[in-house]
């Protein structure tokens, strides 16, 4: 009886060791979560998240040219976020006239946009503001770009995403414009009050 008890105890301990130390035959594939950093521009009062391994380059017209007055339609600020996976830009333009975004695009921001392809009405939202979002396949950068334009006070904000994944799509629109990485950047865009 004693031998049987020792034998069974040994088997139970062996099974317990195998159970607790064995690795699963198939390990689940869980991609690592990308790390994100917060970018904040205090002079223009906005912030957003961007991938931690991307580089950031920015400039302001006031610093670059030491100007305090610029004509309506001039660019005030540009921040460029770039990495292996893509490129994202924030541009801030002067809108002293405080005209609607579509009117402003017709007046000032038409040199590289196909205005016929730009939606006439807002179709998107950024920071709880109505926005116009669209893709343009033929661009100076030679890859499709997704643009988002929205206004606040006397500024027009332009978000630009380089989207080489749209090359094979004839006329990208709707859900095709979504992209998890870029979407996180856009959704995180917000105005911060000092």
The tally of domains found in the chain comes to 1
Q: Is residue 24 part of a domain?
A: no
pLDDT in tens, 1-60: 555 555 556 555 656 555 555 555 444 555 566 699 999 999 899 999 999 999 999 988
pLDDT in tens, 68-84: 667 788 889 999 999 99
Q: Is residue 20 part of a domain?
A: no
Q: Is residue 147 part of a domain?
A: yes
Q: Give me the domain span that covers residue 81.
A: 36-191
Taking alpha carbons only, the member of 169, 117, 125 closest to residue 143 is 169
Pick left, alpha or beta for residue 32 (phi over 0 → left; psi -120 to 50 → alpha; otherwise beta).
Answer: beta
Q: Is residue 130 part of a domain?
A: yes
Q: Is residue 148 part of a domain?
A: yes
Q: Does residue 132 carry a pLDDT above 90?
A: yes
Q: Does residue 104 carry a pLDDT above 80?
A: yes
Burial zone of 168 (CB within 10 Å; 0-12 exposed, 13-18 middle, 19+ buried) = exposed
C-alpha–C-alpha distance, residues 110 and 18, integer Å: 69
In this structure, of 22-26, 57-61, 92-96, 103-107, the range with the lowest mean pLDDT score is 22-26
Q: Is residue 85 part of a domain?
A: yes
Residue 101: give its domain's CATH number.
Answer: 3.40.1000
Q: Is residue 17 part of a domain?
A: no
Model pLDDT, residue 142: 84
Q: Is residue 3 part of a domain?
A: no
- Reported as type and span, the H/E element at residue 132 is strand 129-136
């Amino acid at each position: 009886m004693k031998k049987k008890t020792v034998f069974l105890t040994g088997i139970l301990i062996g099974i317990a060791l195998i159970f607790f130390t064995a690795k699963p035959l198939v390990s689940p594939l869980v991609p690592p979560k990308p790390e994100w950093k917060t970018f904040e521009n205090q002079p223009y009062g906005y912030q957003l998240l961007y991938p931690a391994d991307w580089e950031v380059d920015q400039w302001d017209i006031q610093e670059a040219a030491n100007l305090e007055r610029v004509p309506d339609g001039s660019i005030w600020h540009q921040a460029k976020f770039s990495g292996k996976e893509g490129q994202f830009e924030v541009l801030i333009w002067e809108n002293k006239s405080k005209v609607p975004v579509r009117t402003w695009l017709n007046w000032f921001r038409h040199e590289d946009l196909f205005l016929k392809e730009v939606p006439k009405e807002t179709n998107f939202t950024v920071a709880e503001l109505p926005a116009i979002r669209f893709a343009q396949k033929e661009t100076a950068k030679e890859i499709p770009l997704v643009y988002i334009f929205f206004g606040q006070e006397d500024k027009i904000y332009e978000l630009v995403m380089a989207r080489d994944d749209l090359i094979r799509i004839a006329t990208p629109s709707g859900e095709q414009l979504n992209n998890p990485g870029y979407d996180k950047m856009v959704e995180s865009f917000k105005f911060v009050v000092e």
